[in-house]
Structures are given as C-alpha cells and as structure tokens.
Structure 1
C-alpha cells in the first residue's frame, strides 16, 4: 500500500478496492496494513470493518490459524462496545462463528476438547442473542463427520431443523446433505440432493465449485459421463490456483487419474503448483495431497514415473520422487488428525481414495486430448505410423546405396536411411567402407548436408537451407559429382529467393504478427521483390542446366522440376497473368522429358504442377480435371506417396468450387493414406485443417473442432509452434462461436500454460489474441470478475502497441463495457478515454460506437436519473464518432450509426424518466431507419423501435390513443410484408394498453 489512508473515507475506499482483489498474498497483506491504519483512528467502526476484511482474507486465503485470532479481537470489541455494531455488522459477527469452527477443525494441533468448547461458546452466544440454533447443530454435525463418529443423530438434529438467517446458504447445506448420503454409499440419493446446485439454481462463494468436485465420481458411477465432463470443466475453473479450495483441486486431479486423462492431470498439477506452498490449512493440504497422490500413483503405475512433475519449490521432481514425498506428507497429516480425533477416519479415507480403480479407460475431457506419451520430453518425430518401419540395411555399403537410390526416386523412406547414416558417421571411430560403389567419404558428407538442407527448407529456414545446399555442392565438386553439385546449387538458388531477409521491402524489426495488409504499399513492394528474386533464380537455374554436362535422366528431371517450381512460386507471389504461360511451358518441358525417360515421380510431379498452376490462375475446373488425371495415373503407375498430396489438392479445389462433400471425401482419403508414410512426407496438419473447413461447410462443427486440434498437435510435435498456436486459437474461437464456452476456456488454459508461452518466448501479439478470446469466453460464461481482470490487463498491455492503436482501441472499448457491467462507471470512463485516443490514430468507428452506446444504456439502466449525465456523456462521444464516420464515408456493417445512436438516446432517457426526450429521440430513430422492407433484420430493428416508442408514449406519457395508432399501423405494415414474427410484441403491448384504457 503506497500511502496509508489519512481519513476514514480513504480507508473505506481502500477496503472496497482490496475487496475486489482475488484472495491471496496481496489481498491479505493489504488487509493487514489497513487494520494498522484503522487503529490510528479514534472511531471503532473503521477498525471493525478492517478486521472483518482481514478475517475474510485469512479465511479464503487458507490461513486458518490467523482467522480465529482476528475474530477474537472482533468478539472483544463487540462485548466492550456492542452499540458500535449495527445490524449488518452484528449479523456478520454471528455468521462468522461458523468460520472459526471450520478453521479450528482444520488444525490438528487444536485438541478435540477445544473444538467442542468452541461449539459450546457458539451455542451460548446464539441463545443469549435470541438466535435460532440450526447453524450450531450444523457445525456439530460437521465436527462429527470430520472426526468419523456416527453422524446419524447429529445429522437429524441439524437437517430436521428449520433454517434461520444465520444458516449456511442453501447451496452449502445441499452439499452437506449430499455428502452425508455419499458417505453412506447412496450415490443416487446424493445426486438427487445435489440437483439444484448441479443445475445452477443455487450458488454462493464456494458453490457450485465445491459440489461439482465431489459429484464427479458419483456421476461417473451413475453413467452420466457427459455431465461429469461438463462439471469438471466448469468446476475446475472455479477452484484452480485457489488455496482455500485446494481440496477441490485435488479431487479434479483424482478425476483425471480415474478417467484415462493422466496427461491432463499432470497439466493441471503444474497449473496448481502454487498450492504446494501457499496452502496453510492442514485439512486443505491433506485433501489436496491425497488427490495429487491418486494421480501420481496412476501415472507411475502406467510406467511413466520418470516424467517431470510440478511439486514443492526448491528442487525438480519426477513423478516417482514427488509421489514418495507426497505420500509421506499426506500420511503424516492423516496421522495427526486421527491422533487428535481418536479415530482412524482420515487414514481410512486416504486408503479408500488411493484404492479406487479407474472408472473409465478414456473420457475425452477437453478439445486437446493428450496422452502421457504426448507430455514426455520432446523426441524426434516417429516416421511411419500405420505401416511397418522401413527396413534399413545393416551393411554400410548397402545402406549408402539404398539411401541414394531412394533419394533419387524421391521416396520418403530415404529419410530413415539418411538418419541412420548420420548417426553412424558422427560416431567416434567411424570408418568409411573401401568400396567403389559407396563412393568417397566426402560424397557421403555432401549427401547428408543436402538432406539436412532439405529439412531446413521444409521448416522455412531458408537462409540455413541455402547455406547447407551450397556447402553440399562444394563437397560434391570435390567428390567429382557435377550433377549432384548442380542440383544442390539449384536448390540453394530457390531457397535464397524465398528467404525474407533477401527482401529489400521487408523490415526486420516489423512485428511478425502484424497484418501486412495494413500497409498495401509495403506488401506490394515485398511481392514485387520476391517475384524478381524468383525470376533471377530461374534464370540462374537455366544457365546452370545448360552449363552442366553428364546429368543423368533423373538428375535432369529434378532440375527441370526445380525450374518449374521457381516459376510456379513466382506466379503464386505476383498473381500476374503474364506469369502463367511461362510456368505451363516449363511444366510441359518437364512432363515431356520425364515421359521420354520414364521417370514416374516427375511425370506425376509435372501433372500436379500443371493442376496447381491452373488453380493459381483461377481456372478451378481445369485444375480439377488435371488433378483427376494425376490421380488416375498415380493409382496405376505410382508413386503411391504422391497420392495423399494429390487428394489434398483435389479436396481444396472441391472446396473452392463449393462442393464440400466431395472435398471431405478426398481430404479424408488423403489423410487415411498419409498414415502409410512418414510424418514429414505429407502435410497432415494442412489436411486436418482443410478437413475442418469442409466439416464446417457440411454443418459438422464438432468434427471440425477435432480436426483443428489435431492439426495443431501435429504442428506442435513438428516444432511449428507459431502455426500450432494460431490453429488452437481458431479452434478456441470456433468453440466459443458454438457456445461451448467451457471447452474454449479449458483449451486456452492448456495452451497458455505451455512452457514457451509462460516464458514469454512466443509472439506476444499471438498470445494476446489467445488471452483475448479467453477473456471473451469468460464473459460469455458469466465469470464477469475474471473476464474483467483479464480485459483490464490486456488493455494496459495493448496501450504500448504503438504500431497497432486500432487493436488497443477495440480492447479498451470491450474493457470499458465489462467495467460498466460491474457498475464501475468511473473506471469505464477511463478505459473509454483510452479507446477514443487510440481510435483517433486508427479509427474503429463501429466498435467504438457500439461500446459507447452500451455503456450509456448500462449506466442509465443501473443508476436511473442519477446516471443520466454520465450516460449522455457516453452518447455525446458516440455522436462524435458517428460524425467522423459520416465524414470519412464509413458504412457500418450493422445498424447505421446515426439510427442506432438516436434509438439509444431514446432508451437512455426512458430509463432516466425523461420520457418526452425519449419519445423525440425514438421518432428521430424511426425516421433515420426508414420504413421496413423485405429485409428481415431491418424490419426487426424498426419493430423494436416502434415498440419502445409505443411503450413510452402509451405507458409512461399515458397517451394511449396515439400509441395505439402507432402500434396498430406497425402491425399492419409488418403483416403485409410477411414479417409476422415481429408483430407479437407490438400486438401484446397494444392489448395491454387497451386493457388499461
């Protein structure tokens, strides 16, 4: 706290601000400082309020040892100065007797006699104050359940009594009743008792998250797996990283372990690593550690004890090491509780939880379904999947010859041979075979460099690829292999032409996440420069071809293929019609040569290039016909590894021609065949992504989501992390659009917990976009507090985006709306001012107008006449934005800004009771909207404006006759146009006015 409050008003504001903070160290320390500040005032009330805030911070910050101490001070103040406590503070004081009882139960060092003595104190105080004893009996029952005594009588004494004002909330009592039935082994009765909480009808500070965590396993046992999945996603979010709900977090880990989601369990464990050190409550720590142990025990049982695991600070942990540590600590806590209670209840509960067998082999909990193999330390991507791994010759000369033979064919299995050779050559004591067929060692080094260069090029590491190809070419020269040297140099030319560093229009400091379309001139310059580089590369390849003698047919075909590829890339870059014919000419040359010399791989390659060229030129039917021919030839002559690529192309062409079903068929078949080849042979990630697009066109969004997440996981395994996170972002946005809010949040929570994200190594704008989607999902899920906190953080960060003020304007505007929904209109005003300042640099007319109008509505609706001035200020800003839009010739995608603004003036004035002004504004809005026509959306907007005008005129201004005339005319107009769905609200209002008349 920078400066201690100097007045009680400042203290109360500081208390209110601290109350908005999440529970944790910052809130607790600030509460302690505010108590110190309150003690300096002569008045006792500020101290009482500060102590209440401190006790709450200790209670929900999982510090049960300190909560009773603070309460003792409050009780002393109450005994000494009861008149200081108004009705609200008195209610709070007696309510918190239960907090202290709960805190004392959580501390095994407090003797059982001390717990019973406190309950006696509570009972005496309640009786003296004339309060009902149901809350006391509730605490007595919870003590019996905690100790492990027979709870039947204690339960009846509590549950059979009528509730009082000081009883626990309905949701908490429902949970206790359900847990009683659960302990008795009656899952069905427990779930019936829980129904109001599970259905969202009852809630409180800890509910429904607490009930959700306990209900997960009973739901699974009852076969209600879908509901269990939903409650896991929603419930975990309610307790994650929260020290006071560590036990709930532990039960979610247990749920993961018992449903085949051990990998997710380890992920959630890492996310909650703070609980190992921040949970001061022995009871919460016991519950958490037992849940952790269930997970670790399962992972170790599956043979993954060597996996890294997040645990106590001060050292790194494997699953096995952490399991042993957790078991020892949890056993110790159980022993302490049981020694205090004189029972074996805690040890028995641990034994029961640890002895449970998995309830399901696999339950897909999130869109990002992963296994323990997926979270193992990164290893080289396995080559084949569905087929047997290629046989690699044991004999070194045979291996060298086999690698070169497969490489000449373009066969995917060449990679496995080169990988084996790379290992052998790098080994100490390698001896090259003295075999003329194997060639000299320098030639093998050249082969390995050339393979390494090809892999770098596939990762778009063009500068490295070019350098490696050049180095390989030099070694080929030394080995007397001019044909191979020429091919390597041609590959280097192509890689250099693709290298962005060679683009004079490319600014190395430019943010890679920035949309280049924001600067069309720079984009055009970059395309022109790249096209020129590809032209030069092609010319150099032609000269190289002409100057190199002794090329084999396969080498010459590959060189012709590279020439055609360079021109194809130029066409793709420029989009120029004059670049089409040169590509087709080169393709014809390649096709004729490959056909003459029977080079099958290059024949199909030429056909694919021709089809691709037609596609790039916009002639999709010709491209489709060409692809049909490619597939026919591949099926008859091969090579088979080209089939997935050809099917992928035809699938994309079908999508372009709006034949989603045919696209789906081709893409799915391409994906099936791709499994027959090493992972880097076919772009399986792209296939999944394209399949997602086809699924969306076919109205199969759930399948689209699966393909998007699989696409991202493939990219992640291959090291294409930027692409992977972009695809995850698309999947998250789609799930949000589909209303699958919890799926969206869970996916983004998982992605944002990736090590390179938390370490700040991923592009900051991409991470910001992921966080923005998550914040919107939190808002859609009605977690206003969490959504607002994230938006505020994003608004602060985006304020520094000098190169992208428009994005900051939109983020600040959304932040302002959320602050308005929370009733914080002062802070909303500050956020709006930021948005307007950024908007002045990079206009976002419609977004800002929408934000300002919504804020005006919120303030007028919440505050009535008192909020009218603030609401009108927002509308005045919206008016200026509309004027700017009109002057700039901007047309809104939704309602015209002027009409929308006039309507909002009407609504705001109506909320504030300024009905004449409201009616005038609504008349203006109707004039701006114009008469309804065939457009359904416009007719709906017009009808709503008429309805509100009719309500203001007929109900509030009591001008029934003109209001009825207005409404009847509107109903007739809409009916004549066929918009009958819009007439019901108007007719209903008219009927009401007639009845009142």
Structure 2
C-alpha cells in the first residue's frame, strides 16, 4: 500500500480496491495494513469493516490459523459495542461462525473437544439471537463426515430442516448433500443432486468449481464422459493456482491420471507449483498432495519416473523423487488428522484414492492432446515404419549410401544407427575399400545432419554443416561429394524480410545463387550421374524459389528451362527419383505462376507415372500438391480427397519423410471451405503438434493460434482457453524467447475468450495489460488502436468509465497513425451505448462525446473514400444517437436521430442484412414514438408500413418484433 489512508473515506476506498484483488499474499498483506490504519481512527465501524476484509483474505487465502483470531476480535467488539453492528454487519458476523468452524476442522493440532465446544458456542449464540439452527446442524454434519463417524443422524438433523437466512448458499448445500450420497456409493443420486450446480443454475464464489472437482469421477463411472470433459475444463480454470481451492486442483490432477491424460496432469501440476508452498491449510494440503500423488504414481508406473516434475521450491524434482516426498508428507498429515479424530478415516480415504485403477485408457480432454513421450526432454519422434537396418557394419554403411543415392526415406534410419555406432568409444571403422575411409563416413553423417537442420529451418547451421562436410570430402578424395555439399550450402533458405525491399533483396540473392550453382556445375568434372542430377535439381530449385519470391512472370520460363534440363538428364540416366522431382517442380512452377489448369494436368500425369514406376515415397507430396491446386481451383471436395489420401499414404513411410504438418494444415483449409469447422479444428491442432515435435516452434504456435481463434468462433470457449493456457506456460514463452507479437496474439485471443465466457474480471486484467504493452509498438500502431479500443469497451462493461475513456483516447491517438475506421467507430459507438445505458441522463454528455469522436472518424473515412465492409458508418452513428438519447430520456432527440438513420439507410430491399438493420431501426423508432412519447397513432402507421414492405420482399422473420410491438401499442390504446 503506497500510503496509509488519512481518513475514513480513504480507508473505505482502499477496502473497495483491495476487494477487487484476487485472493493471495498481496490482498492479505494489504488487508493487514488496512486494519492497522483503521485502528488509528476513533470510529469503531471502519475497524469492523477492515477486520471483516482481513478475515475474508485469510479464509480464501488458505490461512485457517489466522481466521479465528480475527473473528475473536470481531466477537469482542460485538459484545462490547453491539450498536456498532447494523443489520448487515450483524448478519455477516453470525454467518462467519461457520467460517471459524471450517478453519478449526482444517487444523489437526486443534483438539476435537475444541471443535465440539465451538459448535456449542455457535448454537448458544444463535439461540440467544433468535436465529434458526439449520446452519448449526449443517456444521455438526460436516464435522461428523470429517471425523468419519456414522453421518446418518447428523445428515437428517441438518437436511430435514428448513433453510434460514444464515444457511449456506443453495449451491454449497447441494454439494454437501451430493457428497453424502457419493460417500454412500450412489453415483447416480449424487449427480442428480448436483445437477442444478453442474448446469449453472446455482452458483457462488466457490461453486460450481468445488462440486465439479468431486463430480468428475462419478461422471466417468456413469458413462458421462463428454460432460466430464466439459466441466473439467471450466472447473479447473476456476480453481487453478488458488490456495483456498488446492483440494479441487488435486482432484483435477487425479482425474487426468485416471483418464490417460498424464501429460496434461504434469502440465497442470507445473501450473500449480505455488500450491506446494502457499497452502497453509493442512486439510486442503492433504487433499492436494493426495491428488498429486495419484498422478505421480501413475506416471511412475508407466515407466516415466525420471521425467522432470514441478514440486517444492528450491530443488529440481523428478516424478519419482517428488512422489516419494509427497507420499511422506501426505501420510503424515493423514495420520495427524486421524490421531486428532480418533479414527482412521483420512488414511482410509487417502488409500482409496491411491488404489483407484484408471477409469479410461484415453479421454481427449483438450485440443492439445499429448502423451508422456511428448513431454520428455528432447523427445525424438519414433518412425512409424522403417525397413530393417543391417546388423553388419559394412553392410549398414553400403546400405545407407545406396539409399541416399536413391533419395529413399529409409536412409534416415541407417544414418541414425551409424551415428550411434560412430559415437561409441570402441568404434572401429571397417578396413574395406568398398566402404570407403572413415573421414568420408564422417562427411556423410555431417551431410545428413545438415539436411535435417535445414528441414527444421535452422538454415545457418545447415549451411555450416554442409561446408564442414565438403572439407571432409575433399580430405577423403571425393570431389563430386564435396561439390554437391557446397552446392547445397549455396541455396539461400528462409523467408525474405517484410516489404518490397525484402523481396527484392531475396530475389537478387537467389539469382546470384543460381549463377554460382551453374559455375560450380561447369567447373566440377567427374560427377556421378546421381550427383549431377542433384546439382541440376538445385539449379532449378533456386530459380523456383526466385519465382515464388518475386511472382514475376519473366521468372517462369527460366525455371521451366532448368526443369527440362533436369528431366532430360534424369531420363537419359534412368534416375527415377529425379525424373519425378523434375515433373513435380514443373507442376509447382505452373501453380506458382497462376496457371492452375496446367499445374493440375502436370500433377495428374506425374501421379500416373508414380503409381506405375515409382518412387512410391513421392506419392504423398504429389497428392498434397494436387490438393493445394484443387483448393486454388475452388474444388474443396476434390482437395479434401487428395489431401486425405496423401496423409494415408504418408503414414506408410517413416516419420519426418513427408511434411505431414503442412498436409494437416491444408486439409483444415479444405474442411473450412466444405463447412466442416470441427474437422478443420482437429487437423489444425494435429498440424501444430507435428510442427512442435519437428522443432518448428514458431510455425506451431501460429497454427495453434489459428486453432484457438477457430475454437472461439465455434463457441468452444473452454477449449480455446485451455489450449491457450497450455501454450502460454511453455518454457520458451515464459522465458520471452518466442516472438512477442505472436505471444500477444495468443493472449489477445485468450482475453476475448475470457470475455465470451463471461469472466469479465480476468478478461479486463488481460486486456488492460495488453493495451499497456502494445502502446510501445511504434511499428504497429494499428494493432495498439484495436487492443486499446477493445480494452475500453470491456472496462466500460465493468462500469470503469474513467479508465475506459483513457483507453479510448489511446486508441484514437494510435488511429491517427494507422487508421482503423470501421473497427474504432464500432467500439466508440458501443462505449456510448454502455455509458448511456448504465448511467442514463448522468452519462449522456460522456456518451455524446464518444459519438462525436465516432463522427470524426466517419468524416475521415469519407474523405479517404473508405468503404465499410459492414454497416455504413453514418447510418450506424445516427442509429446510435437515437439509442443513446433514448437511454438518457431525451426522446424527441432520439426520434429525430432514428429518422435520420432511416433516411441514410434508404428503403429496404432484398438484401437480408440490410433488411434486418432497417427493421431494427424502425422498431426502436416505433418504441420511442409510441411508448415513451405516447404517440401511438403515428408509431402504428410507421410499423404497419414497415411490416407491409418487409412482407412484400419476403423478409417475414424481420417483421416478428414489429408485429409484436404494434400489438402492444394497440392493446394499450
């Protein structure tokens, strides 16, 4: 707290500000400071409010040892100065007797006799105050359940009584009743009891998150897997990292462990690492640790005990090490509770959880489904199909060379085996002229490593490795090999810099590379045919990349000429892989140049050849190209068929042979064109995960970003948030190593999803943070304008109109540098509506100021000859003037503005969107005129004419509200 409050007004303001903070150390420390400040004032009421805030901070910050101490001070104040407590404060005081009972149960050092004594105190106080005893019996039942006694009588004494004003909320009581049935082994009855909470009809601060955590396993046991998945996503988000809901987090970890989602469980454990050290409630900690142990035990049982795990601070943990630590601590806690209670209930419950067998082999919980192999450090993809690797070292070397000459995918497995053998300290190279010298094998391995680095877009590393390999080939007396390695290093890979200058520079670089390749080709005698074919392929590739970069028609013919040289050479020497390579390059060249029919013809011919003569491993790539060409020709059905077939054929070859990530991404595009967005979403996420495994992290995060936006568009809000939460906890994201704009896009989508999911508080925090960060994006003021505008709207929705105005001003300032006419006008109109709607006439001046800003933007757009893609900016602005003035009670002004909007809109026509907008404007004008201005006759004339017009045009759906309003006006008349 910067400065202590100097008067009670400042104290109350500080208490309100602290109440908006999330529970945790910051809020608790501030609450402690505010109690100190309140004690300096002579008035007792501010102190009561400060103590209540402090007890709340302790209770929901998982500090049960401190909560009863604060309550004792409040009780003393009540006894000494009862008149200080008005009806609301008195109600709060008696409500919190239950909080103290909960806190005392959570402390094993608190004797059972003291717990019972407190309940007696509660009963006596309630009776003396003339309050109903149902809340007391509720606490008595909860104590019996906690201890492990027979709860039948205690449950009946509580559940059969009528609720009172001091009873726990409906949602909390529903949870307790459901848990009673769950303990009796009746899953179905428990779930029926929980239904109002699980469906959102009943809720409170801790509900439905608390109920969800308990309902997860019963939902699975009764076959409701889809509902279990759905509530897991929403319920986990509501309790994550919250010390007072650590037990709930533990049950979500257990759920992951029992559904084949151990990798997600480890991810959630890492996200909640703070709970190991921040939970001060022994009872909550026992529940959390037991859930964590269920997960860790399962991971260890599956043979992954050496995986890293997030645990207590100050030490690096493995799964096995953390499980052992957690086991000891949780056993000790359970024993302490049992010793206090005189039963074995907590040990028995803990053992029952640890002994549970998995309920499902696999349940897809999130869009980002990963296994334990995926989270292992430096996990290498396992080939799905690989030819047998020779055992004999000479045979293995010769096999690798032969396969490499053919360009066969199985060469990869041979080189990988050789790399392992060569790295061994006892490696002895065969003394065999056919095998060649050891230095040549080292060069071969470097060349393979360079190729793999290029596939992962580590282009500088690849070039260096090719040069190193070339030097070793020189040493081995293999000039053809050396020249080919240097040729590979000449291709300038990577994307050009943004803008026309970047493309021009890249084009010049590729022109120079081609010239260098031609010189190298001409100056190197003695190439083997397969080597010369590869150099010709590189020459054609360089020109193909130049065409792709420049999109200059003049660059098409040189590519086709080089391709013909390659095709002629490969045909004369019968090099099948290079024949198909040349044909594939030619088809790609036609596609890049825009001649899609020719590209399709070339691809069809190539597919016929591949099916007849091979090589078979070129089929997936060719089918993928034809799929993309079909997309360009707007034949999504044919594209889908080709791309699906490409993926099927690719599965027959080792992983990494084919760029299946791209195929999945292209298939997602085809699905979107076919109106199958859910299928598209699956392909997008598969594409992203493949890119991630391949090491292309930026591409992966771009694909995941697209998947997140699509899931949000589909209304799969919790899926969207869960996906983004997972991505944003990735180590390179947390460390700031990923592109900051890409991370900002992920966070922006998450903020929008939180907003769509009605988590206004969390969304506001994220939007405000992004607005502050994007203010420094000097190279992208347009994005800042939009983020600031969205931030302003969400602040206004929260009633923070001062901060909303500041954010709107930021957006307007950025708009000057990078205009966003339509988007910013829409946000300003929405801000005006929110202010007038929430504040009425008091907010009219500020609302009109927003509309004035929107009017200025409309003028700018008109001057710039900007055409809005949606509603006309002028007609939308006139309509908003009408709506804002109506909210403020300025009905004549409102009607005049709506009439102006109708003039700007013009008569409605066959266009459906325009008809809908026109009808809404007529409806509002009719309501203002007929209801608020009490002029039903002209209003009915207006409405009847509009209904006739719309009906004649076939817009019957748009007439429904107009007919309803007209009927209402006639009834009133």
Range class of TM-score, shorter chain: over 0.9
Cα distance, 1:940–1:451 mapped onto 2, change above 3 Å: same
Cα distance, 1:957–1:208 mapped onto 2, change above 3 Å: same
Look up the match of 2:493: 498
1:708-787 pair list within 5 angstroms: 708-787=684-763
Match of 2:669 among 663, 677, 693: 693
Look up the match of 2:640: 664
Cα distance, 1:579–1:426 mapped onto 2, change above 3 Å: same
1:785-934 pair list within 5 angstroms: 785-934=761-910
For 1:254 and 1:379, the matched residues in 2 are separated by: 25
For 1:139 and 1:747, the matched residues in 2 are separated by: 40
Matched, 1:419 2:416: yes
Is the 8 Å Cα contact of residues 836 and 843 (structure 2) preserved in structure 1? yes
Matched, 1:225 2:225: yes
Cα distance, 1:467–1:187 mapped onto 2, change above 3 Å: closer
Is the 8 Å Cα contact of residues 631 and 643 (structure 1) preserved in structure 2? yes
For 1:221 and 1:471, the matched residues in 2 are separated by: 60
For 2:707 and 2:481, the matched residues in 1 are separated by: 44
Shift of residue 432, structure 1, vs aligned partner: 3.6
For 1:290 and 1:471, the matched residues in 2 are separated by: 54
Matched, 1:39 2:39: yes
For 1:995 and 1:499, the matched residues in 2 are separated by: 72
Match of 1:444 among 420, 441, 447: 441
Cα distance, 1:499–1:181 mapped onto 2, change above 3 Å: closer
RMSD of aligned alpha carbons: 1.6
1:361-440 pair list within 5 angstroms: 361-382=361-382, 384-385=383-384, 387=385, 389-428=386-425, 430-440=427-437
Is the 8 Å Cα contact of residues 373 and 379 (structure 2) preserved in structure 1? no
Deviations 1:121-169 (A, max 9, x none): 2122222222222111111111111111221222122111111111111
Is the 8 Å Cα contact of residues 456 and 694 (structure 2) preserved in structure 1? no
For 1:668 and 1:946, the matched residues in 2 are separated by: 50
1:402-551 pair list within 5 angstroms: 402-428=399-425, 430-494=427-491, 497-498=492-493, 506=497, 516=498, 523-551=499-527
Matched, 1:619 2:586: no
For 2:947 and 2:789, the matched residues in 1 are separated by: 37
Deviations 1:496-519 (A, max 9, x none): x3366xx7xx5xxxxxxxxx3xxx
Look up the match of 2:553: 577
Structure 1 range deviating more: 577-586 or 236-245: 577-586
Structure 1 range deviating more: 802-811 or 602-611: 802-811
For 1:145 and 1:530, the matched residues in 2 are separated by: 73
SS in 2 for 1:871: helix
Shift of residue 535, structure 1, vs aligned partner: 1.6
Is the 8 Å Cα contact of residues 463 and 499 (structure 1) preserved in structure 2? no
Shift of residue 336, structure 1, vs aligned partner: 1.2
For 1:874 and 1:127, the matched residues in 2 are separated by: 57
- Where structure 1 has 5 or more consecutive residues not aligned to the other structure, the ranges are 507-515, 517-522
Matched, 1:602 2:578: yes
Deviations 1:855-876 (A, max 9, x none): 2111211222222222222222
SS in 1 for 2:652: coil
For 2:156 and 2:633, the matched residues in 1 are separated by: 71
For 2:545 and 2:88, the matched residues in 1 are separated by: 75
TM-score, scaled relative to structure 2: 0.98
Is the 8 Å Cα contact of residues 498 and 530 (structure 1) preserved in structure 2? no
Look up the match of 2:186: 186
For 2:299 and 2:261, the matched residues in 1 are separated by: 10
Look up the match of 1:509: none
Cα distance, 1:657–1:3 mapped onto 2, change above 3 Å: same
Look up the match of 1:291: 291
Look up the match of 2:208: 208
Deviations 1:401-455 (A, max 9, x none): 2222211111122223333333444444644433322233333333233223222
Is the 8 Å Cα contact of residues 534 and 570 (structure 1) preserved in structure 2? yes
For 2:73 and 2:309, the matched residues in 1 are separated by: 43
For 2:463 and 2:362, the matched residues in 1 are separated by: 46
For 2:325 and 2:507, the matched residues in 1 are separated by: 62
Shift of residue 803, structure 1, vs aligned partner: 1.6
Shift of residue 228, structure 1, vs aligned partner: 0.9
Shift of residue 719, structure 1, vs aligned partner: 1.0
Shift of residue 194, structure 1, vs aligned partner: 0.9
Look up the match of 1:12: 12
Cα distance, 1:193–1:425 mapped onto 2, change above 3 Å: closer
SS in 1 for 2:634: coil
Is the 8 Å Cα contact of residues 261 and 363 (structure 2) preserved in structure 1? yes
**Which 4+ runs in 1 deviate beyond 6 A?**
none
SS in 2 for 1:587: helix
- Where structure 2 has 5 or more consecutive residues not aligned to the other structure, the ranges are none
For 2:9 and 2:856, the matched residues in 1 are separated by: 37
Is the 8 Å Cα contact of residues 262 and 298 (structure 1) preserved in structure 2? yes
Shift of residue 583, structure 1, vs aligned partner: 1.1
Shift of residue 397, structure 1, vs aligned partner: 3.3
SS in 1 for 2:919: helix
1:137-156 pair list within 5 angstroms: 137-156=137-156
Deviations 1:179-234 (A, max 9, x none): 11111111111111111111110100000111111111111111111111111111
Look up the match of 2:197: 197
For 1:92 and 1:350, the matched residues in 2 are separated by: 35
Cα distance, 1:445–1:222 mapped onto 2, change above 3 Å: closer
SS in 2 for 1:498: coil
Structure 1 range deviating more: 86-95 or 415-424: 415-424
Matched, 1:159 2:159: yes
For 1:342 and 1:450, the matched residues in 2 are separated by: 71
For 1:293 and 1:814, the matched residues in 2 are separated by: 43
Is the 8 Å Cα contact of residues 457 and 696 (structure 2) preserved in structure 1? no
For 1:453 and 1:152, the matched residues in 2 are separated by: 72
For 1:172 and 1:408, the matched residues in 2 are separated by: 71
Matched, 1:354 2:337: no
For 1:21 and 1:864, the matched residues in 2 are separated by: 29
Shift of residue 69, structure 1, vs aligned partner: 0.8
TM-score, scaled relative to structure 1: 0.96
Count of residue correspondences: 973
Matched, 1:971 2:947: yes
For 1:426 and 1:134, the matched residues in 2 are separated by: 75
For 1:645 and 1:830, the matched residues in 2 are separated by: 53
Look up the match of 1:644: 620
For 1:330 and 1:235, the matched residues in 2 are separated by: 24
SS in 1 for 2:489: helix
For 2:185 and 2:121, the matched residues in 1 are separated by: 34
Matched, 1:562 2:557: no
For 2:523 and 2:270, the matched residues in 1 are separated by: 61
For 1:371 and 1:430, the matched residues in 2 are separated by: 35
For 2:660 and 2:689, the matched residues in 1 are separated by: 11
